[in-house]
Amino acid sequence: MDNRRPLDTAAALLSLLNDTSTEPRPDSQLEALTLAVSADLPVLLWGEPGIGKTAALTQLAEALELPLTTVIASVHEPSDFSGLPVVGDDPAEQGVPMAPPDWAVRLVRAGRGLLFLDELSTAPPAVQAALLRVVLERRVGALRLPPGVRIVAAANPRSSAADGWELSPPLANRFVHLQWTYDHDVVVRGLGGTWPQAALPQLDPTQLPDAVTFARRAVCGLLSTRPGLVHQLPKSEARRGGPWPSPRSWEMTLRLVAFATAAGASREVLSMLVRGTVGDGPGLELLASLDRMDLPDPETLLADPRSAVLPERGDLRQTVLDGVVEAVRKRPEQARWDAAWALLVLALETGAPDLVVVPATTLASLRREDWQVPAAIERLSGAVALSRRAQPAGER
| Dihedral of the alpha carbons of 215, 219, 221, 222, in degrees to the nearest 10 | 140
Quickly state the pLDDT bin for 166 (edges 50, 70, 90). confident
Supply the pLDDT for residue 393: 44
pLDDT of residue 228: 92
- Residue spans per domain, the chain: 23-83+99-197, 205-293, 298-395
The pLDDT value given to residue 388: 45
* 8 A C-beta contact, residue 156 and residue 118: no
- The predicted pLDDT at position 330 comes to 92
Top mean-pLDDT range of 99-103, 174-178, 319-323, 390-394? 174-178
CB burial string 242-252: b at 16+ within 10 A, e below: bbbbbeebbeb
Cβ-based neighbours of 50, under 8 Å, separated by 6 or more:
none
Per-residue pLDDT averaged across 36-55, rounded?
90
Q: What is the pLDDT of residues 207-220, one digit of tens each?
A: 999 999 999 999 99
**Would the pLDDT of 165 be above 50?**
yes
Q: Which sign does the torsion angle of CA 296, 299, 304, 306 carry?
A: positive
pLDDT in tens, 22-32: 888 888 998 99
The CATH T-level fold of domain 23-83+99-197 is: Rossmann fold (3.40.50)
Structure-model confidence comparison of residues 60 and 255, the more confident one: 255
Alpha carbons 100 and 84: distance in angstroms, whole number: 7
Per-residue pLDDT reduced to its tens digit, 171-187: 899 999 999 988 888 88
| Position 1 confidence tier, pLDDT thresholds 50, 70, 90 | low
Q: Model-level pTM?
A: 0.77
User: Where does the chain have alpha helices with state H?
Assistant: 8-18, 28-38, 53-64, 79-82, 91-94, 102-110, 125-132, 169-172, 184-191, 208-225, 237-240, 247-263, 267-278, 280-293, 298-303, 314-330, 334-350, 357-365, 376-380, 387-395
Question: Which of 228, 48, 232, 40 has its CA nearest to residue 138?
Answer: 40
Torsion of CA 340, 346, 347, 351, to 10 degrees: 180
Residue 391 pLDDT greater than 50, yes or no: no
Q: Check pLDDT > 70 for residue 71.
A: yes
